[in-house]
């Protein structure tokens, strides 16, 4: 059975001008794409199957990520249903060599595992057997809608 920590993904992008809006900060659509991609990777690590986005909860943009800074996207599976998984996604901004990461954006996403015919298929049970895994799951459940 897959363990929560096996689903933990961290991806980074340097925000380039082609990622930016007219204010020279990461365009919200790019940030949402990065969140969806990382979340899908978490879901696929968990299920071992192709997963598609079924639902993205409200996306809260707390602060911008300027061009030249790093967007750090973190995601992990925090719950499993019959054919779907819940994934917590959070984005942080990093200023290389200066400040600690700052939360910029977060959302909860539901992915559905599918087969070759694009039919939903069962997903495994989620195992949470480490202290760190329990902390991550409790944090997700405490903040989930």
- In which residue are the tokens 């901004």 written? 93
Check pLDDT > 80 for residue 65: yes
What's the CA gap between 83 and 98, in Å, rounded? 43
pLDDT one-digit tens code per residue, 90-141: 999 998 777 789 999 999 999 999 999 999 999 999 999 999 999 999 999 9
pLDDT one-digit tens code per residue, 1-42: 789 999 999 999 999 999 999 999 999 999 999 999 999 999
**How many CB atoms are located within 10 Å of the residue 99 CB?**
10
* pLDDT value, residue 143: 84
Could you tell me the residue ranges of all domains in the chain?
4-143
CATH of domain 4-143: 3.10.129.10
- Residue predicted with more confidence, 77 or 143: 77
Query: Is the pTM for the entire model greater than 0.85?
Result: yes
What are the residues whose beta carbons fall under 8 Å from the beta carbon of 137, sequence distance 6 or more? Answer: 4, 78, 79, 128
């Amino acid at each position: 059975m897959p363990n929560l920590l096996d689903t933990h993904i961290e991806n980074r992008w340097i925000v380039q001008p082609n990622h930016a809006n007219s204010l020279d900060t990461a365009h919200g659509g790019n940030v949402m794409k990065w969140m969806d991609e990382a979340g899908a990777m978490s879901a696929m690590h968990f299920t071992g199957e192709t997963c598609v986005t079924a639902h993205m909860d409200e996306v809260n943009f707390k602060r911008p990520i300027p061009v030249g800074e790093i967007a750090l996207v973190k995601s992990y599976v925090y719950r499993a249903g019959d054919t779907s998984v819940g994934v917590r996604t959070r984005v942080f901004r990093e200023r290389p060599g200066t400040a600690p990461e700052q939360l910029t954006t977060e959302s909860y996403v539901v992915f559905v595992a599918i087969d070759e015919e694009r039919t939903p298929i069962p997903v495994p049970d989620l195992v949470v057997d480490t202290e760190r895994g329990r902390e991550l799951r409790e944090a997700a459940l405490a903040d989930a809608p």
